Amino acid sequence: MATKLAPVNKKANEVVVKAKVAVESWRFQAYICFWGMCIFAMACHRILVVPKMLKGPADGRPCGPYDRTTGDEFFNLKAGEGYNVRQASHLEMLFGFENICVNWDYEPSRQLTAMVYPLFEYSLLVYLVLDFAQTKLSYKRGELTEWFYAFSKTVFPINIFLCAMFRMIFVCIAYESPSNHTAGFLGLQICLVLVAIQNTLYVIDSNVSYDFLGGMTNTRLVAIAYLLGIFAIGSVKITATIFVVQNGRGAPWTLEPAPIGDQAVGQLVDKVWMVFNAILPLIISFVRSQNEYPLNISVTSEEPNYVK
């Protein structure tokens, strides 16, 4: 008995799935997810980790985060006993001050935050792919110079790799292997700096102008000022992180008193870096997503040919 094929009403080249995407909206979403992950980790740390660490191990064994065999004299702690992790974390012991990472350094916050992290990772990866597609189209239209397109082609695979490797902060435990743990964070730092630089250079190279900034001249001045800020704080922050990866502890100069506030130089660098690479990009990506032309995506396939 012959099998009847469903009738084809339209040719395949007439059947197209279309979508309009504001590329910068994915960057905005990525930063929203990053801060959402941080808030989630902070809640897990405060609600689940702090009481658990204060109580100490059930069996009294000095292992894992309770193995304080190095630097115990700093906090006057004994291995196998509970402690206030908000005042005597391993980050505090190794670097002299805490940063945002302490919120997902200990279980169960580490495991729970790792389950939320893909929202940030996948959003950033989607943005990187769409942004490169948009850059290539702009280059083909003659809106970008050769040097910028060459720069974009170089950093694109680097950013994809570094973004994917950030997950190592959940694999390499901070209090067991601080160098390997920090290496994952170093990759993300470099990735976010490169993304911010590329994004800003695109505005400059393509002569993008925003009326609320006062036109072309002011737009370029603001972009250049932001670019200089990224280079300045990025070089300092990445240098400090490389020292941690190489030595497993904070650089001595990061422990010096900062000229502003009651804090160490490393803490001040962390805060300024977060402003330039996690707060301002959130605002910039939102503004650009509201003003840029969307990317038109069309997906189709060849007409199928079924043979019995």
Measuring CA to CA, which residue among 30, 50, 250 is closest to residue 127?
30
Question: Is residue 20 classed exposed, middle or buried when 0-12, 13-18 and 19+ CB atoms within 10 A define those classes?
Answer: exposed
Distance of alpha carbon 105 from alpha carbon 85, whole angstroms: 11
Residue 40 belongs to some domain of the structure: yes
pLDDT score at 63: 72
Residue 8 belongs to some domain of the structure: no
Q: Taking a C-beta distance cutoff of 8 angstroms, is the pair 120, 128 a contact?
A: no
Residue 76 belongs to some domain of the structure: yes
Write the CA distances from 45 to 33, 80, 106, 107, integer angstroms: 18, 20, 8, 9
Distance of alpha carbon 288 from alpha carbon 24, whole angstroms: 6
pLDDT score at 229: 92
Distance of alpha carbon 268 from alpha carbon 257, whole angstroms: 10
Number of structural domains the chain divides into: 1
Residue 3 belongs to some domain of the structure: no
CB atoms within 10 A of CB 177: 14
The one-letter amino acid at 231: F
User: For residue 252, what is the enclosing H or E element?
Assistant: none
Alpha-helical regions (H) of 251-291: 265-274, 280-291
Q: Taking a C-beta distance cutoff of 8 angstroms, is the pair 233, 272 a contact?
A: yes
Alpha-helical regions (H) of 9-145: 23-44, 50-55, 72-75, 90-95, 109-116, 118-140
In terms of residue numbers, what domain contains 217? 19-291
Residue 14 belongs to some domain of the structure: no
pLDDT score at 257: 86
- The structure tokens listed for 36 are 């959402």
Residues belonging to the chain:
308
Residue 270 belongs to some domain of the structure: yes
pLDDT score at 209: 85
pLDDT score at 85: 81
**Segments of the chain with pLDDT less than 50:** 1-2
Residue 303 belongs to some domain of the structure: no
pLDDT score at 239: 92
Characterize the bridge pairing of strands 295-299 and 17-21. antiparallel
pLDDT score at 9: 56
pTM of the model as a whole = 0.85
CB atoms within 10 A of CB 206: 16
- Those residues whose C-beta lies under 8 Å from the C-beta of residue 154, and which sit 6 or more positions away, are none
Residue 49 belongs to some domain of the structure: yes
